[in-house]
Amino acid sequence: ETGVTQSPTHLIKTRGQQVTLRCSSQSGHNTVSWYQQALGQGPQFIFQYYREEENGRGNFPPRFSGLQFPNYSSELNVNALELDDSALYLCASSSQAGVDYEQYFGPGTRLTVT
Amino acid sequence: GDSVTQMEGPVTLSEEAFLTINCTYTATGYPSLFWYVQYPGEGLQLLLKATKADDKGSNKGFEATYRKETTSFHLEKGSVQVSDSAVYFCAFFSGGSNYKLTFGKGTLLTVNP
């Protein structure tokens, strides 16, 4: 069974640019959630996708957007990057098909905005 | 609003010492509670969970009991090892249908030999 994978591992962007981060969910999982973890902080919920539709959003501006594909993999897009967007971006997959809603996290993408 | 308050770190212990990391939460409804661990340079791993009052989650010698009356979920381990050095996050599923996790700020644990 393959776990959650994310790419790239690290990324450096300039303020104002756009970035796309990718996540492959664990086999059998139909839900993907994205979290932002700033240095020294706990992860903050960005949004969740269930069966290719957004299923809840945290307190993040519209320049944070996402997609989920038919194979349940997902992308996080951030436009007009700001310095404060520098963080570890974590993807988590889960299954809402049963009672076990545990979220399984990937290793994250470290984004640095200069 | 929903929130998690964790014991401030960093926590430094000697090997075989007793560990407690306090966690309290403010949530709507009846949340499921979790402890996650993050080793240096890695993502989050689920350490243990509890889904109803008085449930005790346990794994790898760590334990935490869901205390509804005090809205707490303190993490304990009787004898820590150097390999337990990591950041520990308390979290819960918030209300609503999207099962988003609300996390505390994390507690850095360093165990010295």
Report d(CA B65, CA B75) in Å as an integer.
Answer: 8
Contacts of A101 in chain B (CB under 8 A): 32, 93, 99
pLDDT 10s digits, A48-94: 998 899 988 999 999 999 999 999 999 999 999 999 999 999 999 98
Q: How far is CA B34 from CA A86, A100, A112, B48, B68, in A?
A: 26, 13, 29, 6, 14
For a pLDDT cut of 70, what percent of chain A falls above it? 94
Question: Residue A98's pLDDT is what?
Answer: 44
The listed range with the strongest mean pLDDT (A65-79, A89-103, B89-103) is A65-79
- The distance of Cα B93 from the centroid of its chain, to the nearest Å, equals 13
State pLDDT tens for residues B6-65. 988 899 999 999 999 999 999 887 888 999 999 988 889 999 999 889 999 999 999 999
Among candidates B3, B4, B2, B18, which has minimal Cα distance to B78? B18
Residue range A26-41, pLDDT digits in tens? 888 889 999 999 998 9
Contact B98 A50 (CB under 8 A): yes
Inter-chain touch A42–B89, beta carbons under 8 Å: yes
B-interface mutation test, from A39, A51, A102, most B Cβ less than 10 A away: A102
The pLDDT, as a whole number, for residue A101 is: 67
